[in-house]
Amino acid sequence: MTTACTPAPTAATSKSDANGRPSSLAIWVRQPWMLRVGTTNLLIRGTSARDLAAVGAMHGRCSARTLLDRYRAGGRAPSAVAIERALRRTLGFVACTGRGEIVAMAVAGADPAHQAGSAEIGVVVQDDWQRQGLGRELLTHIAGAAFVCGYNQLIAYPATTSTAAQQLLTVVGRTYAVPDPPNPHLHTYLTESSTLGLGAVREHLAC
């Protein structure tokens, strides 16, 4: 948990890597932070292999509609193998209650269907936690984290929530829809200012 208020580096003062990325911001990518949702404190942190059971349980609490919108697999939850793979990603994040329940997850990784620098993004928020800002919180973080990791655009493949996903993605960058059957998707451009969305950086700046 991040509680101490040490100075957070800003995009303006960070050294850049060979691609012009603020390399010193890399330490903030997997840095956990706290979020208050209603009366509940949530910890948002990087995923680990130990999250397999809790992420499986979260999927069990999601409606078929939510699973369809996230995974486009007929409303079914992903297999344990697919979850394990997602949990190993550098850009994998979960929101946890104090009881250790996971209520939301966001992952991103290279999208082989698009040019280099494109990251496919997936966000799922358990139904009874939706519309409380959690999706936006995870997305703004993962957008900054993806930029730090060398990506310059996010690609999302929503099923029936294209409008909601587009509104959500517009928060993090310029977004346009590609109504490309059978895989309509959304592109969102990332810029250096995306790094201001890193969760722990925002938490430090708010101190």
Ligand X SMILES: CC(C)(COP(=O)(O)OP(=O)(O)OC[C@H]1O[C@@H](n2cnc3c(N)ncnc32)[C@H](O)[C@@H]1OP(=O)(O)O)[C@@H](O)C(=O)NCCC(=O)NCCS
Binding site for ligand X (CB under 6 A): 66, 69-70, 122-125, 130-136, 156, 158, 161, 164-165, 167-168
State the helix-helix crossing angle for 162-170 and 134-148, rounded to 10 degrees: 60
Q: Write down the least CB distance from residue 190 to ligand X, Å.
A: 16
Task: Report in angstroms how near the CB of residue 165 gets to ligand X at its nearest.
Answer: 4
Query: Which lies closer to ligand X via its Cβ, residue 22 or residue 122?
Result: 122
Using the minimum distance from each CB to ligand X, give the nearer residue, 38 or 98: 38
State the nearest-atom distance from the C-beta of 133 to ligand X, in Å: 5
22 vs 47, beta carbon nearer ligand X:
47
Using Cβ positions, the residue closest to ligand X within the complex turns out to be 135
CB of 83 to ligand X, least distance (A): 15
Residue 162 is encoded by which pair of tokens? 């294209």
DSSP 132-189: SSHHHHHHHHHHHHHHHTT--EEEE--SS-HHHHHHHHHTTS-EEEE--TT--EEEEE
The rounded distance, in Å, linking the Cα atoms of 64 and 38 is 25
* Amino acid of residue 62: C
